[in-house]
């Protein structure tokens, strides 16, 4: 078989919450392989779906895996709000913890205990801030067309099977039907809201990470966005996180997010 895929999904959908997993990524040659840990409601809202992603992008032997986070709200795939980072460890040697913390007002991504990205709900984002119940997913699939050097390096199946290991899954939030319009969940949302408010120490750690390891940020991509999305015009705070030598353009992979979630088209 030329390609195959694997994945799992939560039984419930959640409106806000704390979602984490300890993940160990495939070793050796992993070009074109994408491992994803994410939330989505694309099966319910085909054209107006929300999504929050950790995407782990494989590489050729001797080159590090990279991590990408995406934020989609109300079908805003044309914006994507992607960021990409290097890591300070080898994610194939041991398990590391990846966290999506999502409340009504903000989203925070963590690696181990370090916050790496915060997305604050603003008036300018409007309905593009994820706001509908989502399920939790994990998949491994073939991203040969874009994942490694813009598609230059493909999945090489002589190195298969590509195995991603997941453990210590945690799903803490308001479980509900994805079609529900209920605005909130109590008292869980109160504790979740408190959890996403970072301390000064955490914020300093996030700033250090972004300065050292962020290699792409959509707010700084002038080829893709000659006029930055409105939430990028936040002034000094946005400039604070511009990493040294950060990429200002993104591979134009033009991928369909609905297609790439199909395990039948994935790599395992």
Cis peptide leading into residue 13 (ω within 30°): no
State how far the alpha carbon of 218 is from the alpha carbons of 28, 49, 147, 195, 228, in Å.
Answer: 30, 20, 17, 26, 8
Catalytic annotation present for 55? yes
Catalytic entry in 51, 83, 118, 231: 51
State how far the alpha carbon of 161 is from the alpha carbons of 2, 31, 33, 42, 158, in Å.
Answer: 12, 13, 11, 28, 8
Q: What is the CA radius of gyration of the chain?
A: 18
- Alpha helices by DSSP H, listed for the chain, are 188-196, 200-213, 236-240, 257-260
- Strand runs (DSSP E) across the chain, as ranges? 6-24, 33-40, 51-57, 66-72, 83-85, 96-102, 106-111, 114-120, 134-142, 165-176, 214-217
Say which residues have a Cβ less than 8 Å from residue 214's Cβ, sequence separation at least 6.
Answer: 83, 84, 85, 241, 243, 246
Give the bridge partners for 135, in sequence order: 13, 40
Catalytic annotation present for 113? no
Beta carbons of 3 and 263 less than 8 angstroms apart? no
Catalytic entry in 46, 55, 113, 118: 55
Active site residues: 51, 55
């Amino acid at each position: 078989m030329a390609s195959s895929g694997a994945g799992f999904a939560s039984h419930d959908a959640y409106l806000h919450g704390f979602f984490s997993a300890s993940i160990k990524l495939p070793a050796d040659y992993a070009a074109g392989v994408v491992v994803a840990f994410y939330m989505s409601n694309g099966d319910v809202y085909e054209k107006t779906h929300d999504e929050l992603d950790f995407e782990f992008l494989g590489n050729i032997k001797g080159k590090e895996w990279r991590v990408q986070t995406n934020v989609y709200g109300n079908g805003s795939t044309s914006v994507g709000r992607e960021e990409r980072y290097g890591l300070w460890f080898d994610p194939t040697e041991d398990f590391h913890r990846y966290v999506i913390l999502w409340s009504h007002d903000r989203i925070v991504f963590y690696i181990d205990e370090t916050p790496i990205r915060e997305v604050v709900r603003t008036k300018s984002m409007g309905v593009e801030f994820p706001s509908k119940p989502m399920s939790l997913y994990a998949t491994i699939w073939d991203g040969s067309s874009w994942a490694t050097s813009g598609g230059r390096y493909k999945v090489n199946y002589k190195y298969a099977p590509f195995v991603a290991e997941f453990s210590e899954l945690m799903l803490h939030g308001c479980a509900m039907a994805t079609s529900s319009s209920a605005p909130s969940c109590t008292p869980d949302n109160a504790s979740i809201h408190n959890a996403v408010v970072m301390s000064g120490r955490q914020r300093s750690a996030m700033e250090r990470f972004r300065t050292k390891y962020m290699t792409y940020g959509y707010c700084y991509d002038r080829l893709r966005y000659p006029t930055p999305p409105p939430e990028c015009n936040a002034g000094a705070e946005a400039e604070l996180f511009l990493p040294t030598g950060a990429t200002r353009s993104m591979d134009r992979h033009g991928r369909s997010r609905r297609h790439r979630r199909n395990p039948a088209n994935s790599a395992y």
